[in-house]
């Protein structure tokens, strides 16, 4: 018999013996508490797992059924001794006690998918909206306003399709989290050798720090606007850093409370920018033409690249695969997994539709006010509020402060989700077993310290902050392949996903989207380095770094036959076979 089949048979036998032993020994509460862990013993197991389970089984067999159990406390102690918490071995995204129970999901049969329920949709609603905040961070808002000011309404169609591409990637991220019960960082830790795992972790942390700097500075700009310039940029950065402690405070009250706070922040953004949309009254005809008719010119190519490049945030891919585990879903129950995927697909689509509308509001507001004007090429996140105030004046509530409120909501919500993502990335790649407050403090410090330094160095002029933003966009663009390639590699593997691996059509579509995003960001990098890099030594260092960068991407793609079997790969394999003969 094959060794794996033997191991699974042994696991089945041990599982049945443990269940019978627990029942005979009068520990029915122990069985009920740990039923899902005992049942999961039939999943692929290692030698260490079998040794541990066999040891537990031997303890149960030697227990005296007639021995009285004095109280519930002794039973709990016995349970903890026999079946230790999984957090002793691996870092879990969510503890079992923190997960949200989904009605009768626990009693569903293995293959049965219940009909649609509004109540269940509501219970599954949350992770998609937290994920959508990355589409609304201050960096994206700056891309929106510059796109509207320079390109007018002409790139709205690209914004729509870029959001759809982002939805596809995020649905795959949710799929891998639900089907495996592990987040992408944890799976990368198991899939790749140590050196590659550490490189991927470093790249993910760098991308997170780059995004966090943009988000914190955006929030600090909003604080500066709302304080009427009394608080300088660095003070706003320090205030924003306190969101780490706000996050920890909210997390103690449960996942739903935290999701409710994010819902309020998203609603604040939507109301603020919708109010501005109503005040400025952009052209409805131009808006529809911009969405339905693709237009692109040489003058707007850079803004087009920025629109597409902003939709894929590397840390967000890792984040969504962890957030979906906040609901209690058994990865070994096909019916539960499929039902969860159905609800998450609906919820994520609604969340990104709302984020698209908010981005649409911002783009059309600045298209109406500044397209074709002298200020179009000078407008940025720092001076956008003042330009709006000069253009549209005051009123009952001055547009400058409405902009500040929306920007503050975007900055605060995105920095808190950045803290969340940092915990999952560090915990998943490094398998750290730290207290939540310590882990959040470490991940927040990794981003806040460089942010304060950057705020002090670049808070000299609007131009310096624009240069900083360009460098940060480049920094995040570099990291995109190191989130997309592992995701598409793992979600296509039957050994990882089982029956929930994606089909060939979705696989080819996903790789096409990934290639498009990588190529577009590659163009942004090339354009940036051609215009900014000066000197022979710097040029040599850039070329050396680029060679190492491309080599690592090739390694990730070729390892484990990541690419789908297209005609090109088939022809390539034939040629290699012919040459070897």
What SS3 state is found at 562?
coil
Report the distance separating Cα 580 and Cα 574, nearest Å: 10
pLDDT of 393: 74
Q: Which of 35, 102, 96 is nearest to 337 (CA)?
A: 102
pLDDT of 517: 83
DSSP string, 214-245: HHHHHHHHHHHHHTTT-S-HHHHHHHHHTHHH
**DSSP label of 503:** P
Please check whether residue 239 is in contact with residue 224, taking contact to mean a CB–CB distance below 8 angstroms.
Answer: no
- Assigned token pair, 458: 């670049």
Q: What's the Cα-to-Cα distance from 378 to each of 371, 373, 391, rounded to whole Å?
A: 12, 10, 15
What is the sign of the dihedral through the CA atoms of 43, 48, 51 and 55? negative
Q: What percent of the chain has pLDDT over 90?
A: 31
Alpha helices in 310-333 (DSSP H): 314-323
pLDDT of 60: 41
pLDDT of 563: 60
Residues of the chain with pLDDT under 50: 1-11, 19, 22-89, 566-573, 576, 578, 580-581
Report the distance separating Cα 284 and Cα 290, nearest Å: 10
Q: What's the Cα-to-Cα distance from 177 to each of 93, 301, 324, 353, 425, rounded to whole Å?
A: 10, 36, 6, 22, 14
Q: What's the Cα-to-Cα distance from 455 to each of 118, 234, 240, 379, rounded to whole Å?
A: 46, 6, 13, 19
State pLDDT tens for residues 5-42: 444 444 455 555 554 554 444 444 444 444 444 444 44
Q: Which of 210, 215, 214, 234 is nearest to 224 (CA)?
A: 234
pTM for this one? 0.78
pLDDT of 341: 94
User: What does the longest C-alpha to C-alpha distance in the chain come to?
Assistant: 89
Return the bridge partners of 43, or none: none
Report the distance separating Cα 75 and Cα 70, nearest Å: 8
pLDDT of 290: 92
The CA radius of gyration of the chain, in Å to the nearest whole number, is 26
């Amino acid at each position: 018999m094959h060794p794996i089949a033997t191991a699974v048979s042994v696991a089945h036998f041990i599982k049945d013996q443990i269940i019978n032993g627990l029942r005979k020994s009068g520990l029915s509460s122990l069985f009920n508490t740990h039923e899902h862990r005992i049942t999961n013993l039939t999943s692929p197991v290692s030698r260490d797992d079998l040794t541990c389970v066999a040891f537990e089984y031997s303890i149960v067999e030697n227990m005296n059924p007639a021995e009285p159990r004095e109280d519930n406390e002794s039973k709990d102690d016995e349970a903890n001794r026999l079946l230790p918490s999984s957090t002793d071995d691996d870092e879990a995204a969510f503890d079992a006690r923190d997960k949200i129970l989904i009605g009768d999901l626990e009693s569903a049969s293995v293959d049965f998918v219940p009909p649609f329920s509004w109540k269940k949709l509501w219970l599954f609603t949350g992770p998609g909206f937290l994920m959508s905040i990355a589409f609304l961070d201050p960096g994206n808002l700056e891309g929106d306003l510059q796109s509207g000011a320079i390109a007018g309404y002409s790139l709205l169609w690209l914004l729509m399709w870029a959001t759809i591409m982002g939805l596809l990637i995020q649905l795959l991220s949710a799929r891998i989290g639900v089907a495996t019960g592990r987040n992408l960082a944890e799976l990368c830790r198991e899939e790749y050798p140590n050196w590659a795992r550490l490189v991927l972790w470093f790249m993910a942390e760098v991308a997170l720090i780059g995004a966090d700097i943009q988000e914190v500075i955006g929030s600090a700009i909003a604080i500066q606007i709302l304080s009427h310039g009394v608080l300088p940029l660095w003070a706003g950065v320090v205030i924003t850093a306190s969101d780490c402690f706000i996050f920890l405070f909210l997390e103690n009250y449960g996942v739903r409370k935290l999701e409710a706070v994010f819902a309020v922040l998203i609603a604040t953004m939507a109301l603020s920018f919708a109010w501005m949309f109503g005040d400025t009254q952009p052209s409805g005809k131009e808006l529809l033409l911009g969405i339905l008719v693709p237009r692109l010119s040489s003058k707007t190519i850079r803004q087009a690249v920025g629109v597409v490049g902003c939709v894929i945030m590397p840390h967000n891919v890792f984040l969504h695969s962890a957030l979906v585990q906040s609901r209690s879903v058994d990865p070994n129950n096909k019916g539960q997994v499929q039902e969860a995927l159905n609800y998450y697909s609906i919820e994520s689509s609604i969340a990104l539709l709302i984020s698209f509308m908010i981005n649409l509001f911002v783009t059309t507001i600045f298209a109406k006010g500044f397209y074709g004007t002298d200020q179009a090429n000078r407008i940025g996140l720092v001076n956008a509020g003042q330009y709006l105030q000069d253009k549209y004046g005051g009123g009952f509530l001055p547009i400058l402060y409405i902009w500040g409120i929306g920007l503050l909501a975007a900055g605060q919500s995105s920095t808190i989700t950045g803290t969340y993502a940092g915990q999952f990335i560090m915990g998943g790649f490094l398998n750290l077993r730290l207290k939540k407050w310590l882990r959040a403090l470490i991940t927040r410090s990794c981003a806040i310290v460089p942010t304060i330094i950057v705020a002090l160095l670049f808070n000299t002029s609007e131009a310096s902050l624009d240069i900083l933003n360009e460098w940060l966009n480049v920094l995040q663009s570099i990291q995109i392949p190191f989130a997309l390639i592992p995701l598409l590699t793992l979600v296509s593997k039957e050994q990882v996903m089982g029956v929930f691996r994606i089909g060939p059509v979705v696989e080819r579509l996903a790789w096409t989207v990934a290639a498009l995003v990588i190529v577009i960001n590659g163009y942004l990098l090339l354009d940036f380095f051609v215009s900014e890099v000066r000197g022979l030594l710097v040029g040599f260092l850039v070329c050396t770094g680029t060679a190492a960068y491309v080599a690592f991407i090739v390694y990730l793609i070729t390892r484990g036959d990541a690419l789908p079997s297209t005609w090109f790969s088939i022809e390539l394999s034939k040629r290699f076979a012919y040459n070897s003969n």
